[in-house]
Amino acid sequence: MNFIASKQPENRLLGPESDTQRTLYPYVTGTSVVALKYKDGILMAADMGGSYGSTLRYKSVERMKPIGKHSLLGASGEISDFQEILRYLDELILYDNMWDDGNSLGPKEVHNYLTRVMYNRRNKFNPLWNSLVLGGVKNGQTYLGMVNMIGVNFEDNHVATGFGNHLARPILRQEWHENLSFEDGVKLLEKCMRVLLYRDRSAVNKLQIAKITEEGVTISQPYSLKTYWEFSAFENPAQGAIGSW
């Protein structure tokens, strides 16, 4: 599925009023990505929704992709800009493979490249409207980092984008530990995704969980979480709210 990038064509024949238009706001977007380290590698989760404004238009958008031999990328934000980033990375990995020197780019190098790309586009006032999560394993070392649309980046034991920054990371701070097994890591990610499904209007109950270890990347088939909607707070959420209808 290819999405048309949200840029207007340039036409210099009509004068300065028709100059290139920048991305003023995203068109088709994906919501949160949540990722964590576990004892054998990295686990990452994202749903498959693509929102056209406030309309949940697409429900089969894959937002996690393997990058080279050692890395896994997840993205929230503008889908067409994510596709552009994947094209950049395809060129980077192809150029690296052409050296045929027995070495390959690791997750730290790919993450550093993405921070430069995002910051460079921000300085041109033409940002790629995404928040990216990059995780991987190379030579027994796990790596997990993120970068947002203006180039702000960091590494951590667990990261999240979008609403996940506000709703999932408190759960991760409380329950994550460095000896997390694969099964416990999946349960923790599912708990985070369930909270996001309840509270984020752009979330959809169709998600994938990916893992990356020394053996490579595995991305699960899409599946749905078991949910419960009979909480009393869900029955009339506006009751007692000042200014509600």
List residues with catalytic annotation. Answer: 23
Q: How far apart are the C-alpha atoms of 44 and 234, rounded to whole Å?
A: 28
Six token digits for residue 205: 């109950």
**Distance between CA 65 and CA 72 in Å, rounded?**
6
Q: CA–CA separation, 58 vs 28, rounded Å?
A: 9
